[in-house]
Chains A and B, each alone.
Chain A
Amino acid sequence: MNAIRKLNRRQLMRGMLGGSAVTVALPLLECFLNDNGSAYAATGAALPPCFGTWFFGLGLTPGHWVPKETGNRYTLPEHLGALAPVQAKFNLFSGMQVFLDGKANQNHYSGAQCQMTGMVTRTGSEYSISFDQLIADAIGQRCRFRSLEVDCSGDRKATWSARGSNGMNPSEISPLALYMRIFGPEFRDPNAANFVPDPDVMLRHSVLSGVTDQRQDWMRRISATDRTRLDEYFSSVRDLEQKLGVELQKPSPLPACSVPRQPVRAVSENLGPLVEQTESTNRLFAQLLAHALSCGQTQVFNVTMANSFSPLRKAGETTGYHQLTHEEPIDAQLGYQPKCKWLAEQHMRFLRDFLQTLDSIKEGDGTLLDRTVVFGFTDHGEARLHSMKNYPIFTAGSGGGRMRTGYHLAAQGDAVTRVGLTIMQALAIPSSGSWGTETNHVTRPFSEVLV
């Protein structure tokens, strides 16, 4: 069905280019429509859900983050105090673990890998499709950007998102560059009165179609070993065709959409792992992503604070976060590593900043956060010991009323993959009856939070 529609769209585009008409009515893109096909602005009807991941390295302080009570009337522990203003809008999952099934623990890798892909591989150079991309396959296909990836520490390699087993989706590290990508000259304001398709975009679309036309020929010739890599390349070409196709259509108005201010270069390019730098970059990216979502430019995003060997550091400290988790003594009186605890709390502050930014965009009766699901995750239950148990996991936002929020759910050693499964089922992703491999294979979502 999708393939046929795409082909038709492509042929239509080419027809447009070949002829002179630029006002041909194309099938409207689902990105801008609700189920009835009426414009959002006219009806105020449900906007489509969005999904994003938000990764912070090195977990939280053991013994200090699990609330005593479960359900939706729990007391937020002091360690998570920063999140108090948004407590009603997120869920906290405790007591979950990653099963290695006899494979070596690739420190700071296997845990995050399992939460994103549902599996643990034998080596650290293997990866597979992450569930944000499964979601993008289902809901993100009709926007300009299939998904957007960013990192807040200046590390392009810090990412957990992958389309398949042939490399990761690189992170954008400069807010200014992301701004230009989304809101630069190619951006078409959905609320603008006039719309004229850009002939340059039409030309580019036509050029890309010529590449897509080579696909069958290539796939027939390519060796079995390299087939999936070539297939992913052609998927990338299709994504770009899709993006240009969106740009050639008059978008439906989205009242909540506004163009954010262009980041100031000096601020935008102050990249690095210092607490102040990460905090500032996270805020800038939050703004840009929030506006991108509210303007219908994408429905899927991935944010990392840094790579999982987190280099987050307080200015003037000689040692970064990862090193501290292994080296800082546990204070005998306090019973924890004080510097590590402080850094973990900075991550919670950053998470709050991010969620509040999404929540600040009003859409009808709700907010952008309300129609989004954000999956907050980390690499270790206790980083000091490379522990694969008791992972702190968050979901925030209700995906447009599809998930309940405000809960603390305490699992009894269940596989972490249950959270991903729950999200996919909430968003009605096809074939999400079960997810994961070996012991991390799960079939039971957290029905308590499914509406």
Chain B
Amino acid sequence: MRLWQIAVATALPLCASLWGSLAQADADVGIVRLTPDQYQRAIHDIFGPNVQVGDNQVEPGVREDGLLAVGNRKLTVGSTELERDETLAREIAAQVVDPNRRATLLECQPKSARGPDDACAARFLARAGRLLFRRPLSAVELQRYVATQDRLAQQRQSFYAGLAAALAQMLITPDFLFRVEISNPDPTQPHTLQLDGYSRATRLSFFLWNSAPDGELLDAVQSGRLMSPRGLQQQVDRLLSSPRLADGMRAFFIDMLGFGGLDQDPGFDTLSIDTNLYPNFTPNVRADAQEQTLRTIVDQLLNHNADYRDLFVSRDTFLTPTLAALYGVPLPRAQELGGAVPWVPYRFAPDAPYVGLLSQVSFLALHSHPGRSSPTRRGKALREVFLCEKVPPPPGNVDFSLVQNTSDPRYKTVRQRLTVHRSAPMCAGCHKITDPIGLAFENFDTAGEYRSTENGAPIDASGELNGQSFDGVGQLAEIIRDDPATTSCLINRVYAFGTERQPTPQEHAWLTSLQAELSKDGVRWRELVRRVTLNPDFYTLPMSSAPLSTAVVH
């Protein structure tokens, strides 16, 4: 036995049995693809934030039940992506073994830089592999990567070339590109699978941090502590107290808010608002608008431990000069405030029209037409994104021309035109759902800028939701804040995001009771995700391979 084999055999007594245990007939092995963001975060966490990760766009996601995370279970790695992944893997590996980095990232020096060194390679590959695969490598696996190093180091007469090849190989295996979920039948529940320790750690870490488990979390699995309620609680509390909690929260809200696209509404990557018509909607606005919303949410929910529901009525936010121009407010320059970033905390005046998430550009512009506002799209998005309702698609054979003929002197405002449209019986059903609340946003044009008239006629932003009447987005926001559906929607989405599936009926019941408690005590992020991640069902999968959910309607 070679030296490194002895080292591995003694240091990692559990790993040899890891894959061996899969031979059990009832063990279930599933895969879920890493998102581009998760890929990048994992690399930065393992090899340092200075390692460049190139653009790694992946195939279009599938949104199911309001979340790309749920549709993620359907995706594989196609040829185009694998081609890209292989390039990324080589670029990353080259950086890791770069002369400037190898001293810090590699724990040993080879006997000779001009040939293989299996022992040194094994030490590095065992440690990096454990973090990349989120579990220790078995002896057989490790030997495989060490052998790659050996063969290619000999051929290229370079230890580092061989080591980089072995690392690149790890980075394109299913073990890294997918999160592997290993589960066994749950002895306490029929038709249910329970994740094993490493799969639990992976789910927990990607949910809370949007990144791979760190060494300490893996240690907790290896020692068996994570499987005990107390051990789990310790790790959950540790993860919750980290600033990286913001990363997981951002990933969730990017998905829930549809920043990547929602049915036929574009995402920010393809949003096309005409700059000729809306000069303040400069290209920077797209990035800034998303960041404004995310920054506001993180600040409120994490830094101030605020109630999620208050996001709808809060006047506190962050702005850049670009956004300030769009919102029509003066903004002190960030540099003058001594800030390193162009973001400045800003509180809208009590009489300003901007209140809460729903009056932010990220919502208003994302659910508009390129050159016109759309009460229908905004109303539909409000229902679907924040209240988890489903608005049916329009039927065929509809004549929309009356709605949109903006030159018809009889119907100057969108409200007037939509009222005519709603008089058609086949349209009335759905437009009654979307338009009366969408019209609340009519004081904001396509780009999100305030206006008080349209075509010279004053805008009427009144309406009603669930029997409560309102005038303007400020009053609508209060109704949304107090609507129990707002809380239940968030809780259900959070749970589905973390498990990447729809809750089972049993889980629904649990979520309902959680909703009752949180509604009373405050819907606070840390408490919500703590309760979710301490729930044993969070680490389960239904055994059936039947589809779990209903689907997107185009």
Which A positions have Cβ atoms within 8 angstroms of B? Answer: 17-18, 104-109, 123-126, 146-147, 149, 153-157, 159, 163-170, 172, 181, 199, 203-204, 206-208, 210-211, 214, 218, 221-226, 228-230, 232-233, 235-237, 239-240, 243, 272-274, 309, 311, 313, 315-320, 322-323, 326-330, 385-387
Task: Determine if B60 and A318 form an interchain contact, defined as CB atoms under 8 angstroms apart.
Answer: no
Task: Determine if B404 and A327 form an interchain contact, defined as CB atoms under 8 angstroms apart.
Answer: yes
Q: Which residues of B contact A224 (CB under 8 A)?
A: 545
Q: Besides A318-B277, A327-B403, 10 other CB < 8 A contacts?
A: A109-B554, A146-B79, A153-B270, A164-B76, A168-B78, A170-B58, A221-B29, A230-B76, A239-B83, A318-B369
6 smallest A-B Cβ distances: which pairs? A318-B371, A327-B404, A123-B551, A157-B60, A386-B396, A329-B401
Task: Determine if A233 and B77 form an interchain contact, defined as CB atoms under 8 angstroms apart.
Answer: yes
The contact of B148 among A163, A207, A328, by CB within 8 Å, is A207
The residue in chain B whose Cβ has the minimal distance to the Cβ of A172 is B80
Task: Determine if A18 and B151 form an interchain contact, defined as CB atoms under 8 angstroms apart.
Answer: yes
Q: How many A-B residue pairs have CB under 8 A?
A: 216
Q: Which of B504-554 contact A (CB under 8 A)?
A: 545, 550-554
Which of A181, A230, A274 has the largest count of B CB atoms less than 10 A from its CB? Answer: A230
Q: Which residues of A contact B29 (CB under 8 A)?
A: 221-223, 226
Task: Determine if A159 and B60 form an interchain contact, defined as CB atoms under 8 angstroms apart.
Answer: yes
Distance in Å from the Cβ of A340 to the closest Cβ of chain B?
11
Which B positions have Cβ atoms within 8 angstroms of A? Answer: 19, 22, 27-31, 57-60, 62-64, 71, 74-83, 86, 90, 144, 148, 151-152, 155-156, 161, 165, 168-169, 172-174, 177-178, 261, 264, 266, 269-270, 272, 274, 276-277, 369-372, 393-398, 400-401, 403-405, 545, 550-554
Distance in Å from the Cβ of A313 to the closest Cβ of chain B?
6
Task: Determine if B552 and A167 form an interchain contact, defined as CB atoms under 8 angstroms apart.
Answer: no
Task: Determine if B31 and A222 form an interchain contact, defined as CB atoms under 8 angstroms apart.
Answer: yes
Q: How far is the CA of A212 from the CA of B28 in the complex (A)?
A: 22
The contact of A199 among B156, B177, B261, B274, by CB within 8 Å, is B156
Task: Determine if A166 and B76 form an interchain contact, defined as CB atoms under 8 angstroms apart.
Answer: yes
The residue in chain A whose Cβ has the minimal distance to the Cβ of B83 is A240
Task: Determine if A203 and B404 form an interchain contact, defined as CB atoms under 8 angstroms apart.
Answer: no
Q: Which residues of B contact A169 (CB under 8 A)?
A: 59, 78-80
Q: How far is the CA of A167 from the CA of B396 in the complex (A)?
A: 27
The contact of B79 among A203, A236, A309, by CB within 8 Å, is A236
The contact of A207 among B57, B169, B371, B398, by CB within 8 Å, is B169
Q: Which residues of B contact A225 (CB under 8 A)?
A: 30, 545
Q: Which residues of A contact B82 (CB under 8 A)?
A: 233, 236-237, 239-240
Q: Which residues of B contact A203 (CB under 8 A)?
A: 152, 155-156, 161, 165
Q: How far is the CA of A330 from the CA of B400 in the complex (A)?
A: 10
Q: How far is the CA of A109 from the CA of B396 in the complex (A)?
A: 13
Q: Which residues of A contact B71 (CB under 8 A)?
A: 125
Q: Which residues of B contact A168 (CB under 8 A)?
A: 59-60, 78
Would A272 and B371 be within 8 Å (CB), given that A168-B59, A170-B60, A318-B277 are in contact? no
Distance in Å from the Cβ of A211 to the closest Cβ of chain B?
6
Q: How far is the CA of A108 from the CA of B553 in the complex (A)?
A: 10
Q: Which residues of A contact B276 (CB under 8 A)?
A: 315-316
The residue in chain B whose Cβ has the minimal distance to the Cβ of A271 is B270
Q: Which residues of A contact B396 (CB under 8 A)?
A: 105, 107, 385-387
Q: How far is the CA of A149 from the CA of B28 in the complex (A)?
A: 35
Q: Which residues of B contact A147 (CB under 8 A)?
A: 79
Q: Which residues of B contact A313 (CB under 8 A)?
A: 272, 274, 370
The residue in chain A whose Cβ has the minimal distance to the Cβ of B155 is A17
Task: Determine if B272 and A107 form an interchain contact, defined as CB atoms under 8 angstroms apart.
Answer: no
Task: Determine if A167 and B76 form an interchain contact, defined as CB atoms under 8 angstroms apart.
Answer: yes
The contact of B86 among A167, A204, A320, by CB within 8 Å, is A204
Task: Determine if A154 and B155 form an interchain contact, defined as CB atoms under 8 angstroms apart.
Answer: no
Distance in Å from the Cβ of B550 to the closest Cβ of chain A?
7
The contact of B272 among A214, A218, A272, by CB within 8 Å, is A272
Q: Which residues of B contact A211 (CB under 8 A)?
A: 169, 172-173
Q: Which residues of B contact A229 (CB under 8 A)?
A: 31, 74-76
Q: Which residues of B contact A317 (CB under 8 A)?
A: 274, 370-371
The contact of A233 among B76, B550, B552, by CB within 8 Å, is B76
Task: Determine if B400 and A166 form an interchain contact, defined as CB atoms under 8 angstroms apart.
Answer: no
Task: Determine if A167 and B554 form an interchain contact, defined as CB atoms under 8 angstroms apart.
Answer: no
Task: Determine if A329 and B405 form an interchain contact, defined as CB atoms under 8 angstroms apart.
Answer: yes
Q: How far is the CA of A147 from the CA of B172 in the complex (A)?
A: 21
Task: Determine if A206 and B79 form an interchain contact, defined as CB atoms under 8 angstroms apart.
Answer: no
The contact of A106 among B75, B174, B553, by CB within 8 Å, is B553
Q: Which residues of B contact A230 (CB under 8 A)?
A: 31, 76, 174
Q: Which residues of A contact B152 (CB under 8 A)?
A: 17, 203, 206-207
Task: Determine if B272 and A240 form an interchain contact, defined as CB atoms under 8 angstroms apart.
Answer: no
Q: Which residues of A contact B168 (CB under 8 A)?
A: 207
Task: Determine if B398 and A326 form an interchain contact, defined as CB atoms under 8 angstroms apart.
Answer: yes
Which of B83, B269, B550, B554 has the largest count of A CB atoms less than 10 A from its CB? Answer: B554
The contact of B401 among A166, A214, A330, by CB within 8 Å, is A330
Q: Which residues of B contact A237 (CB under 8 A)?
A: 82, 172
Task: Determine if B78 and A232 form an interchain contact, defined as CB atoms under 8 angstroms apart.
Answer: yes
Q: Which residues of A contact B401 (CB under 8 A)?
A: 327-330
Distance in Å from the Cβ of B507 to the closest Cβ of chain A?
19
Q: Which residues of A contact B75 (CB under 8 A)?
A: 166-167, 229
Q: Which residues of B contact A243 (CB under 8 A)?
A: 83
Would A107 and B165 be within 8 Å (CB), given that A170-B60, A233-B174, A313-B370 are in contact? no
A-B contact pairs, 8 of them (CB 8 A): A17-B155, A105-B396, A157-B270, A207-B152, A232-B76, A240-B82, A326-B398, A386-B395
The residue in chain B whose Cβ has the minimal distance to the Cβ of A327 is B404
Q: How far is the CA of A318 from the CA of B445 in the complex (A)?
A: 12
Would A107 and B394 be within 8 Å (CB), given that A236-B82, A318-B274, A319-B372 are in contact? yes
Task: Determine if A156 and B60 form an interchain contact, defined as CB atoms under 8 angstroms apart.
Answer: yes
Task: Determine if A108 and B554 form an interchain contact, defined as CB atoms under 8 angstroms apart.
Answer: yes
Task: Determine if B397 and A320 form an interchain contact, defined as CB atoms under 8 angstroms apart.
Answer: no
Distance in Å from the Cβ of A156 to the closest Cβ of chain B?
6
The contact of B369 among A232, A240, A323, A385, by CB within 8 Å, is A323
The contact of A149 among B62, B80, B172, by CB within 8 Å, is B80
Q: Which residues of B contact A208 (CB under 8 A)?
A: 86, 172
Q: Which residues of A contact B553 (CB under 8 A)?
A: 104, 106, 123-124
Task: Determine if A226 and B31 form an interchain contact, defined as CB atoms under 8 angstroms apart.
Answer: yes
Which of B168, B174, B269 has the largest count of A CB atoms less than 10 A from its CB? Answer: B174
Q: Which residues of A contact B269 (CB under 8 A)?
A: 154-156
Task: Determine if A125 and B81 form an interchain contact, defined as CB atoms under 8 angstroms apart.
Answer: no
The residue in chain B whose Cβ has the minimal distance to the Cβ of A274 is B272
The residue in chain A whose Cβ has the minimal distance to the Cβ of B370 is A320
Q: Which residues of A contact B545 (CB under 8 A)?
A: 223-225
Would A206 and B151 be within 8 Å (CB), given that A157-B60, A223-B30 are in contact? yes
